[in-house]
Amino acid sequence: MSDKIEEWDRVIEARKPERPKALDYINYIFEDFIEMHGDRYFGDDKAVIGGIASIENIPVTVIGEQKGKTTKENMERNFGMPNPEGYRKALRLMKQAEKFNRPIITFIDTPGAYPGLGAEERGQGEAIAKNLLEMSSLEVPIICVVIGEGSSGGALAIGVGDKILMLENSIYSVLSPEGFASILYKDSSLYKKAAKEMKITAKDLKKLGIIDEIIKEDNILENTKKAILKDLKELLKLNKNELVENRYNKYRRIGKGEEDDIK
């Protein structure tokens, strides 16, 4: 798609049921994916999938937020909205990846962390916070790919990494354009305007220095595979200290404010 496309069209594209979901990427890009279940505390959240696999004989840990393509699938997957146990499963697998020195690849696709009663009781905020803290200092390469809808802290919770990639028609936002419109414009019908003003497209976010690369969608799965492999090989050259220090600085740079002029 070209640059002429309106931001809102990308939102629609990013949310399309028939668009490839995390498992489609995982099955295409990696060999012998073995899914692992459960957070070891409470349960197994089907909105988050994770496991081990390999790519060009490099063992990796893969994690993804999984939406469904049909209503039935979406009910099973809670529409890709994780509960705390989903994030805790992700963290468990990531810590394991660190133990066995496996790079981590995550696929982001969620309307947000689930805002439910149980989610709050079980500490949704704590679960996300813990992931941010831990991911910032894991001593293995982390590549995060926004494949569809990356919304809010629920996306960021598996999104702290060395390379942040976005599919050309994916979006990444602090909240949904609809939510933004109803809160800041006090008019939910202004979602198209919100989508434009919020700077949520891959192109806008690259300009803002929030993501690293944009993946073209002409051959969506293959392009994503190539992009991951290229970054993986680059990151594997770094030692642990360089890796963690670079990652720290990557986030350290974002949004520093400005000192007042001294008059």
- What does the binding site for other proteins look like in residue numbers (CB under 8 A)? 113-117, 119-126, 128-130, 132-134, 136-137, 152-153, 156-157, 159-160, 172-175, 180, 183-184, 197-200, 205, 208, 210, 247-248, 251-252, 254-260
Residue 220: left if φ>0, alpha if ψ -120 to 50, beta else—which one?
alpha
Q: How far is the CB of 114 from other proteins (least distance, A)?
A: 8
Compare residues 23 and 160 and give the one whose CB is closer to other proteins.
160
Among residues 217, 216, 219, 175, which one has the least CA distance to residue 198? 175
State the minimum distance, in angstroms, from the CB of residue 187 to other proteins: 14
Q: How far apart are CA 2 and CA 201, in angstroms?
A: 13
Nearer CB in complex with other proteins: 43/123: 123
Smallest distance, Å, CB 159 to other proteins? 8
Q: Residue 26 or 200: which CB sits closer to other proteins?
A: 200
- Asked if 8 contacts 32 with a C-beta cutoff of 8 angstroms, the reply is no
Query: Residue 21 in contact with residue 148, Cβ under 8 Å?
Result: yes
Query: What's the closest the beta carbon of residue 151 comes to other proteins, in angstroms?
Result: 10
Could you tell me the smallest distance in angstroms from the CB atom of residue 232 to other proteins?
21
Q: Which helix (H) or strand (E) holds 8?
A: helix 7-15
Sign of the alpha-carbon dihedral angle for 203, 206, 211, 217? positive
Closest among 115, 111, 163 to 135, alpha carbons compared: 163
Q: How far is the CB of 247 from other proteins (least distance, A)?
A: 8
Q: Nearest 5°: CA angle at 73, between 127 and 54?
A: 65
Burial pattern 15-26, b for ≥16 Cβ within 10 A else e, equals beeebbbbbbbb
